Structure 1
Amino acid sequence: MSKDPAPTVYLRLRKNVRLHVGSVIRLGDIAQILAPGNSEEILKQLVMERPEQNDGNRIVIDMLQIIGSIHALMPGCIVEHIGEPHTLVEIVGKEKKPSIVLFIVVWLLLFFGSALTIMNFHADVSMQEVQVRIVEMVTGTRDEHPYVFQAAYSVGIGLGMIVFFNHIFKKKWNEEPSPLEVEMFLYQENLNHYVVTEEFKKLHLDAGREKG
């Protein structure tokens, strides 16, 4: 009499997950699951961690931990994972309403800081003399204050920045990510990698202390 084949569970962990304070980390929150029958819904409710305040606001869930929990629930099943071997769970509190005063202060700092940076750069490269010389070459007369040329140049800088960053307020010209978005993505990736590495170091240190 042949035995039924062992069920196979397929998992794909999400790279980064955000949950609210007080939430229980379930397998369905951190992974995409494909399993036979009603076992998929059961696995989605499988509790992986109950975060406490001393755990910090970032918790790493490793695939070995997940496999152990699944085998405890479904002995004999085969677990196949695709992609990342761990997921980073970020515990976040209630979102605060943005402060209008803080927004205005930051906006003013950025505005005047950028303006001073551009003016200092122009002073370093003698942009005033260059613009006077360009107008003289085009018109044939020397004008020490070519305001029309300078106004067009200033508008061109603003338009160039809009095109370069592919953004004007919340509107984007196309689906291509802006350089700022790419840098923010790389920063987040590096941050996640650092947190995961540090968490694994702590786990190895704790394991070594327990053995000692």
Structure 2
Amino acid sequence: MGNDPALTVYLRLRKNVKLREGHMIRLGDIAQILAPGDWEDKLKKLVMDRPEHQDGNRIVIDMLQIIRKIHTVIPGCSIEHIGEPHTLIEIAGNQKKPSVLLFTVVWLLLFFGSILTIMNFHADVSMPEVQVRLVEMITGTRDEHPYAFQAAYSVGIGLGMIVFFNHIFKKKWNEEPTPLEVEMFLYQENLNHYVITEEYKKIHQLESRGEKP
């Protein structure tokens, strides 16, 4: 491959990439590439790293590493970078089959835990007495056991949760993210930021000892 200083390569790194264990990390796996001629296909096949077991299941590759690699293939070329300065690669092992027993146990814990939480909250705020009083105000007669009102109230709680979380099983009412999805997104963003920061610390320590990261 030759030297073409007039050649310009455009790169946009993907923020997160998941690869299977034993898979070589190629530039095409972690970046969108725009280059003239057949350089684009050649750069997509450019090997960035060969992860080993001791490297862990998360690897960070930044633009400086990519620029060095590309310059070994196309010396003197111009590289235009768009977007993220690094990409986080998660190495996924063999997926285990979900355990039906574990799923059932977790489901039962969450189900009965939610029931107890709601019941304790209602007991704290004297909800039964409030419901009796509401029925008395509406109907004019006092009923110590307003089952119809309580049944409607229970159904309303369930419907309210469905509307609030915008989700029932795998169905969503619209494209708006649910509160749980937003929280999971923020958690993942914080986790990625922490992992990237720790990886940069390791790279800096290796460089300070004169070792190749």
* Structure 1 length-normalised TM: 0.96
Deviations 1:34-56 (A, max 9, x none): 00000000000000000000000
Pairing 1:178–2:178 present:
yes
Aligned counterparts, 1:1-212, within 5 A: 6-210=6-210
- Secondary structure in 1 matching 2:160: helix
Offset of 1:202 from its aligned partner?
Answer: 1.0
* Change over 3 Å in CA distance of 1:197–1:85 after alignment to 2: same
- Structure 2: which 5+ residue stretches go unaligned? none
- Secondary structure in 1 matching 2:48: strand
Deviations 1:53-99 (A, max 9, x none): 00000000010000000001001100000000000000001222211
- Secondary structure in 2 matching 1:168: coil
- The one-letter code of the counterpart of 1:149 is F
Q: State how far apart, in whole Å, the 1-side matches of 2:163 and 2:100 are.
A: 27
- Structure 1: which 5+ residue stretches go unaligned? none
Offset of 1:5 from its aligned partner?
Answer: 6.0
Deviates more, 1:63-72 or 1:89-98: 89-98
Offset of 1:24 from its aligned partner?
Answer: 0.1
Deviations 1:95-144 (A, max 9, x none): 22211111111110000000000000000000011000000000011111
- Secondary structure in 1 matching 2:138: helix
Offset of 1:210 from its aligned partner?
Answer: 2.5
* Structure 2 length-normalised TM: 0.96
- Secondary structure in 2 matching 1:141: coil
* Change over 3 Å in CA distance of 1:170–1:46 after alignment to 2: same
Offset of 1:205 from its aligned partner?
Answer: 1.5
- Secondary structure in 2 matching 1:89: strand
- Secondary structure in 1 matching 2:80: strand
Q: Kindly report structure 1 stretches of 4+ aligned residues shifted beyond 3 Å.
A: none
Residues 5 and 77 of structure 2 are in contact (CA less than 8 Å); yes or no, is this contact kept in structure 1?
no
Q: State how far apart, in whole Å, the 2-side matches of 1:65 and 1:9 are.
A: 15
- The one-letter code of the counterpart of 2:207 is A
Offset of 1:162 from its aligned partner?
Answer: 0.6
- The one-letter code of the counterpart of 1:70 is I
Deviations 1:154-201 (A, max 9, x none): 000000001111111111111111000111111111110100000001
Residues 6 and 77 of structure 2 are in contact (CA less than 8 Å); yes or no, is this contact kept in structure 1?
yes
- Secondary structure in 2 matching 1:175: coil
